[in-house]
Structures are given as structure tokens and as C-alpha cells.
Amino acid sequence: MTRDPTDSRISAEDIRRRKGDVPIVCLTAYTYPIARLLDPHVDLLLVGDSVAMVLHGHATTLGASLEMMIAHGQAVMRGSAKACVVVDMPAGSYEASPARAVAAAKRIVEETGCQAVKLEGGVDMASRIAAIVAEGIPVMGHIGLQPQSVEKDGGYKIKGRTQDNIAALLSDAEAVERAGAFSVVIEGTVEAVAAKLTRHVSIPTIGIGASGDCDGQILVVDDMVGMTVDRVPKFIKEYADLRGVIADAAARYAAEVRSRTFPGPDHVFTTASAKDNT
């Protein structure tokens, strides 16, 4: 994939070249305003299937549909001008066959204009990654803890605690790389193992609950800014407390409405007001 020199947007190939370089900054985004705010500061925006939980209230990411991912991908693309935008392929859209995976990936890219797609799985999904890449669509892999497999795994279980599991993770990383992925997310994996995986493959690794030695890091933006209203995972660092800010704003608004101090003179229209003409 050759980058157009007139295009200022970061491409998947640009991300691939960042292996071992300055860490790659990634965050999730699901909406136009958040994409606008994050875009100047990040290298990559992931329209994650976590949107099913974060914005739609589902218990797991399995609530995400292809239509949901496309709609949010379109919103993020409207708000982004610089970052490489990657859209998650939701559960059920790619596992059945390579042909099914290609069809879903093409639809996502054609309808959103995003730069790449992401799917979960290693050895078991390598043929799907290879088929999508063969069609000219960049793919980000995802190994370690895989949220789409949470029901099969019996919960959110940290990976890399046994020798057999470490060997399986190494095989998954190798399979994703051989299949042609431009990068791979490593989630919920013992720190030393994630660091070993990063050294083991030639494509960038993006950590979440993994290792500071990964080539980049990603967080769910709502977790990062303190918007998560349920349990906050251990690996999250909250850089703001928007829960408190929003709750306080709502409480003050409610008090002013009930006391009839809002709306005040500055927030209503009169025929004499210059604000009426703006």
C-alpha cells in the first residue's frame, strides 16, 4: 500500500513502519465530536466493538453488529483528518469463511472510508486475515484476551500464565504476522509475555493490559477520561474524571431548572436582543 504524498492522513503502512520507533498512540472513538477532539493527538483511532458496551449498554462486545460498526465508523471518519482509522469487524461477520470475512471487510471499508479493519484471533483466523489482505485491505490483528470469545472462555481471563498458553500466544502472533497483518493488539496478557511477543514479531504490537514494551498502547476513550459507569479494569489509568464533572453539571442544571433561575435573560430571545440575529 503506497501512501499518496498529498494525503496527510496516517496510513496502515505508516503504522507498520513504526515498529521499534516512537510508541504508537491509539484510542478508541465512536462519535464525530470525540474523533474531532482526539484526532490531533493520536496516531490511530479504533472504532472498537466495545461501542456495544460503552454506548449501547450491552454486557459484552457480542452485541455489536456490522451495521453498528459501519455507522460509528462513518461518524469517526467525518471527525478525523489525520489519524489512521481502523474499524473492528464484529463477532459473526468473519469467522464462517475467508469469503465471508472478505465481504464484510469490503463493506466496512467501502461504506466508511476507513484505512483498515481489525479482527480477533490468531492461528484460527489467519486464513481470514490473509484473504482480506489479498484484497488490498489492511488488517490489524488481535490476540491474547479476546472479548468476542468471552463466553467461550468463561469470562475475561488473563493470558500467558501457563507454558502451554505462552506457546499458543507465540503461535498466534506468528500466524497473524505471516498472514499479512500490519500490526497486532495484545490484550490482557502477562507483562513479560507481551514483551516477549513484541520482540518476537516484526510488526508493531499495540498493548492494552499488556506491557510498556509494546510498540504502542490503546485504551477505550471512555475509560481513559473517567466516563466508565461500571467496573473499571485494573489496567486503566483515568486521566480525567468526567463522571464527576457530568454528574455535577447535571445536578446544577436540575437545581436551576427547579428554582426557575434557568433559563435566564442571557438564554432567551427577545426582539431587541442582538443575539437573535446570530
Collapsing DSSP to helix, strand or coil, 36 comes out as: helix
Residue 61, judged by CB atoms within 10 A of its CB (0-12, 13-18, 19+), counts as buried
CA–CA gap between residue 72 and residue 76 (Å, rounded):
6
Q: Distance of CA 251 to CAs 130, 227, 244, Å? A: 52, 17, 10
Measured CA angle at 267 (ends 262, 269), to 5 deg: 130
Determine the length of the chain: 278
The single residue of 187, 191, 238, 256 carrying the catalytic annotation is 187
CA–CA gap between residue 135 and residue 98 (Å, rounded):
11
Closest CA to 119 of 135, 95, 100: 95
Whether 187 is a known active-site residue: answer yes
At which residue does the C-alpha cell 462513518 appear? 74
Closest CA to 232 of 250, 251, 209, 215: 209
Q: Which residues are tagged catalytic?
A: 187
